[in-house]
Structures are given as structure tokens and as C-alpha cells.
Structure 1
Amino acid sequence: MNLSVIIACYNAGDTIVMQLEALAQQKWSEPWEIIFADNGSTDETIASIEKFQNKIPNLRLVDASKKRGAAHARNVGVSIAKGKALAFCDADDIIAPSWVAAMGEALKKYDFVAGQKDYKKLNEPWVFECFGIQETGLHEAAGYLPFAGANNLGVKRSIHEAIGGFDESILGIEDVDYCWRIQQSGTKLHYIPEALIYFRFRHTLKGMYLRSWNMGCQEPLLYRKHLPKGMPRLITWKTFVKAAVVLPLHLLLKVRDKKSLGRWLMDFAWRTGQFKGCIQYGYNPFTQLNFG
């Protein structure tokens, strides 16, 4: 088996059929498999996957519900994978028709790759504009290493195993940590625009808020982990002083419609989440030292 596609899933019943249909249309001349690692779904997710097992060769489903989080689910999926190379995508997105072939061929040439995202196809205009994302390839952390989401990522299995897989203590931004640790081990991240996925944002104000809150809460843990490895301090006391001034002003002066409200809610959730995370994970934004 040359390639294993690993898909972590949890209560994706509303979207997973579209991803399954996209997987069923994939063509690549070399042997590959699909592994869905279910993190404890209680909706129609598992039933939907089982319906496609006769339609898609080498489709497997594994129980990954022992521990919460996509990191754990992906690690469980890799543990039963047969491929020499691994490709990760998500159950709520849709891969383009040539995604598997593009990933498979890229991983013959490179050890670590990330594909392109289209943000417009699956999202209403106000949602896309609310998030304000312009990048279609790699993301940059100010003054540090690039990263990409695990919704469109490929790596040689030997490298995944060498770094110990995804860090299961990080929830929501474990893919950033994963990318950084692989690069710290000496492996470059290559951008492969041919490996295209259609990305789905959260479509409700509540969903947007919770996503940003979770990311903010986890960032201090991520940053504390990487500060000793040369990462600059991206959360300082100035971060919270600025937020305390700017957020109320933006609420009064800039929130005029659903899009601007969504943008403000995400900013508010992100900064308040960061503050909570600093306390929870012992990240001190006021000094060069950490609490504890």
C-alpha cells in the first residue's frame, strides 16, 4: 500500500456523505486506502461510512473514541494504516477530483506536503468575508515556521512516527504543533497547489465564536511548548491591553451587520480564550518566565 488517507470524524452526519462521494470518484494508478477514525459519533456518521464500504475499495472504519480530540483519532487511524505515506483530510470538507493522485505523487518527491484550499465553494459570501482569509496555501506565524491545517496535509509515515504523531494534549490547533515539530526535525514543508480541497467554515455565529474561543484557549499551551525552541513571544501584556481598548471601540463603531458582528465575536472569543489559556497553562505574558 503506497498511500493511506486518514480522516478523523465526529458527528459529521450532515456533511460526510459529500466527502465520501468525492472519495469514491478518486482515481490513482497505485494502491491506496481510506481510514475513517471515529472519535465517538452519536449521529449518522458511522452509518454513512458503512454504506460506502461496498462502493469504495479499501475503505476501513476504526473506533477512535477512547480519548477526545482529532489528534487522538488521527493517531489511531495511522496505527492501523498500511501505507508508506499518509494523507490527512477532514470529514466536513470536500476533496477535489484529483486530490488523492496529487497527494500520492507529491509524497513520492517530498517528505512533507500541504495542499491548496478553496474557501468560497462551500461557504456563503458573508461567512467567507467574515473570516477574511486570503491565503490559499501555507499559513505563517509571525517570525516563525509556516504551517498548514491537517485538513490537507501529507507526510511520510516514517516521519510521523519519528516525532510521535500528533500531540493529543492539544485540542483544535494540534496540526500547527505537528507542522512545527516536523520542521524542527529537519523536514521542509512543501506547498502542492494541485492537491485541492474545498474547505467548510462554521456557518453560525455560535459556531464561529466557539471555534475562535477554543483556538485562543489552546494557543498559550502551544506557544509555551515552542518558546524554548526559538519561537518569538506572540502573546504579551500588550496583546491584552490593546484588545481591552480596541474591542469595545470596534463594537461601537464597526459592528453594523451579521458579517461585522461575526468578525467581532471571533476577535472577542479569541482574545478572551487566550487570557483563559494563559492562566490554565501557565503562560505569563508579562515576563520572559512562565508561571509554575
Structure 2
Amino acid sequence: MADASVVVPACEEADRLDRTLDALATQRFDGALEVIVVATGRETLAVARDHPRVDRALVDERCDGPGPARNLGASVASGDVLCFTDADTIVPSTWVRRHYRHYAIPTVVGVGGPLRAGTDDPLHPLAFRVLSDWWYRLSWPVGFVQQPGPNCSVRRSAFEAIDGFDESLAFLEDTDLSLRLKRRGTVVYDHTCPVATSPRRQEREGYVGLFLTNLVGYLRYALPGTTPIRPYF
């Protein structure tokens, strides 16, 4: 049995997954830690199976996005705390420990942290700081909690009580999870626990395009009887 489990969805990420797993191998965590990769693609699966830090490598046969992949990984995890990150993300060596410490408070059911741009391009760090940190600091206190998928964790019992990620959502599945978790207890924003993630999605769609996509998604999510429908991943 593990104290904490890390679940990494990896869809055709053979070129990036090693760096994510190397970072997880450096975790300074006193408890028992397991790492589970849910892989799509033969090469990605091979990278996961070959890495010494990986405890289980699962095949994602559905390929329906990160929500279903995270649920699959969580279904075989043994940790009381489930941590989620992505295969294009580098976490610091204190990442699991910083998330885990919050669960000493019984009412805490989830934790989220900021995203940093994993690039030296000067545009991305500022944009990430505004959209993936300052925005959270403003929205969290008013109840609009949004744990980002590459940097979040949940108490296993609360995750199971709400049936995990909603697999019907094409995107905003992490925001939806956070809002449903909030009904079960406290969801914490830890601004001292950033992770570095790839800005390739921002480079592909542009910040304006992503903002509009998310705005429409938020509105559709909020309206009764509708869900976000535009594929995001």
C-alpha cells in the first residue's frame, strides 16, 4: 500500500515522458510512493515500462483524453492521496510532499498549484503567471476553484465519492472535478508549489484563442443542460 500515488496520463508522449519520470524519481517524500503511467502508443508504453520509477504502466485503449486516463490510473492506485500530473510536465523534488502535507487537515479534499511555462521564451512566463497563478489566487477565494490537471491532488475517499473525473466532458474536466470536490470539503490552492509544463498548446492555439475557448466552455458549463463540447486535447 502506498501513502501517495502519482498518476500520469501519457498520450503519444515518448519524447517527453522520460523527463517527467526522472523528476518523479527525485521526490523527497518520507512515505510510500507509487507512480502509475496510463500510456497511449507503443513507444510511450515502452518508455513507461523501462523507467525504474514506474510501478505500473497501463495501456489506454480508449484514448478519450486525460480525464478517462486519470480515472483508469486512479482505479488501480493504492494511495490515500492521488496526485495528478502530465507527461509534458516537470515537477520539483518536493512536489508530492507539499501536496501531501495539506491532507493532515481532515477537511481538505483537494490541492492545486500554479503552472509555470517550461520554456525560456519571455512571452510565456508572464502569460502563465497571469493565467495560471494570479487568476487562481483571485478566483479561489470567491469559490471558483480550478485545480489544473498537471498540478493537482485529491483525497482518495472524496475522489471515489464523486466518481472521479466526468468522462463526458471534452475539456474543463479538472475545473468540474474541483467544483464537485468543493462540496465535500476544502480545496486548497498552494501557490508555493509550481510545476513547469509545456506551452505547446498555447503556441498552437494562441492565448486569445484559448481564452475564448475557455470562456465559452465556462459559460456552457454554467448553463443548465449543457456541457463543453469543443475538443481541447
Common fold by TM > 0.5 = yes
Alignment TM class, shorter chain as reference = 0.7 to 0.9
Summarize the alignment of residues 155-234 of structure 1 with structure 2, pairs less than 5 Å apart. 155-183=154-182, 185-202=183-200, 205-208=203-206, 212=210, 215=214, 218-225=217-224
Shift of the alpha carbon at 1:46? Answer: 1.6
Q: CA deviation at 1:86?
A: 0.7
**Inter-partner Cα distance in structure 1 for 2:184 and 2:225:** 15
Q: CA RMSD in A?
A: 3.0
Partner of 1:88: 84
For residues 109-168 of structure 1, give each alpha carbon's deviation from its aligned partner in whole angstroms, at most 9, with x where no partner exists.
33221123333x435113345667255363628965221212111111110011111011
Does 2:91 correspond to 1:116? no
Q: Check conservation: 2:116, 2:132, Cα contact below 8 A.
A: no
Distance 2:119 2:35 in 1: 23
Counterpart of 2:74 in 1: which secondary structure? Answer: helix
Q: Secondary structure at the match of 1:136?
A: helix
How many Å apart are 1:106 and its aligned residue?
2.2
Q: Which residue of 1 aligns with 2:30?
A: 29
Distance in 1 (alpha carbons) for counterparts of 2:208 and 2:65: 15
The DSSP-based 3-state class of the residue aligned with 2:47 is: helix
TM-score by length of 1: 0.66
CA distance, structure 2, for counterparts of residue 117 and residue 29 of structure 1: 25
Q: Is the contact made by 1:70 and 1:172 (CA closer than 8 Å) also made in structure 2?
A: no
Q: Is the 8 A contact 1:4 1:82 kept in 2?
A: yes
1:29–1:87: structure 2 CA closer, same or farther, 3 Å change rule? Answer: same
**2:60 aligns to what?**
64
Q: Distance in 2 between matches of 1:168 and 1:135?
A: 23
Alpha-carbon deviation of 1:218?
4.0
Matched, 1:78 2:79: no
Q: What one-letter code is carried by the residue in structure 2 that aligns with 1:12?
A: E
User: Following the alignment from structure 1 to structure 2, what is the Cα–Cα distance between the partners of residues 194 and 128?
Assistant: 16
Give the residue type in structure 1 aligned to 2:24: L
Q: Could you say what secondary structure the match of 1:18 adopts? A: helix
Q: Tell me, yes or no, if the aligned pair for 1:117 and 1:199 is still in contact at 8 Å.
A: yes
Residue 106 of structure 1 corresponds to 102
Alpha-carbon separation, structure 2, partners of 1:9 and 1:211: 24
Which structure 2 segments of 5+ residues have no match?
A: none
- Higher relative CO (Cα under 8 Å, sequence separation at least 6) belongs to 2
**SS in structure 2 at match of 1:49:** helix
8 Å CA contact 1:147–1:180 kept in 2: the answer is yes
Output the CA distance in 1 between the equivalents of 2:16 and 2:208: 19
Structure 1 contact 7–74 (Cα < 8 Å) conserved:
yes
- For 1:145 and 1:95, locate their aligned partners in 2 and report how far apart those are by CA, in whole Å: 25
Name the amino acid aligned to 1:173.
L
Q: TM-score, normalised by structure 2?
A: 0.81
**Corresponding letter in the other structure for 1:169:** S
Q: Which amino acid aligns with 2:124?
A: V
The amino acid of 1:96's aligned partner reads P
